[in-house]
Amino acid sequence: MSDAEHPTRASEAFFGRRKGKPLRERQVQHLETLLPELKVDLTTEAPADITTLYGFKPDRMRLEIGFGGGEHLIHRALETPKTAFIGVEPFVNSMAKLIGRVEETGVKNIRLYDDDATELLDWLPANSIDQIDLLYPDPWPKKKHWKRRFVSKVNLDRFARVLKPGGLFCFASDIDTYVNWTLMHCGAHPAFVWTAENAADWLTPYAGWPGTRYEAKAKREGRKSAYLTFRRL
pLDDT at residue 197 tops 80: yes
Q: Quick check: 82 and 60 in contact, CB under 8 A? A: yes
Q: What is the pLDDT of residues 132-164, one digit of tens each?
A: 999 999 999 888 988 899 999 999 999 999 999
Q: Quick check: 88 and 65 in contact, CB under 8 A? A: yes
Q: What is the pLDDT of residue 19?
A: 59
Q: What is the pLDDT of residue 159?
A: 98
pLDDT level of residue 126 (50, 70, 90 thresholds): very high
Phi–psi pair at 79, nearest 5 degrees = -70, -35
Q: What is the pLDDT of residue 132?
A: 99
What average pLDDT does the segment 9-28 reach? 60
Q: Which domain holds residue 35?
A: 3-232
Q: In 3D, which of 99, 230, 215, 90 has the Cα closest to residue 159?
A: 230
Q: Which residues contact 229 (CB under 8 A, 6 or more apart)?
A: 168, 169, 170, 171, 194, 195, 196, 201, 202, 206
- What is the value of pTM for the model shown? 0.91
- Written as one string, the DSSP assignment of 172-231 is EES-HHHHHHHHHHHHH-TTEEE--SSHHHHHSPPTT----HHHHHHHHTT---EEEEEE
Residues forming the active site: 138
pLDDT at residue 15 tops 90: no
Whole-angstrom distance, CA of residue 101 vs CA of residue 161: 31
CATH number reported for the structural domain that contains residue 18 in this entry: 3.40.50.150
Q: Quick check: 10 and 157 in contact, CB under 8 A? A: no
Report which of residues 49 and 21 the model is more confident about.
49
pLDDT at residue 34 tops 70: yes
pLDDT at residue 23 tops 50: yes
> What SS3 class is residue 62?
strand
Whole-angstrom distance, CA of residue 69 vs CA of residue 15: 15
- Residue 32's CB: how many other CB atoms inside 10 A? 9
Tell me what percent of the residues of the chain surpass a pLDDT of 90. 76
Q: What is the pLDDT of residue 2?
A: 38
What average pLDDT does the segment 15-25 reach? 62
- Residue 13's CB: how many other CB atoms inside 10 A? 12
CA angle 134, 78, 205 (to 5 degrees): 45
Domain total in the chain: 1
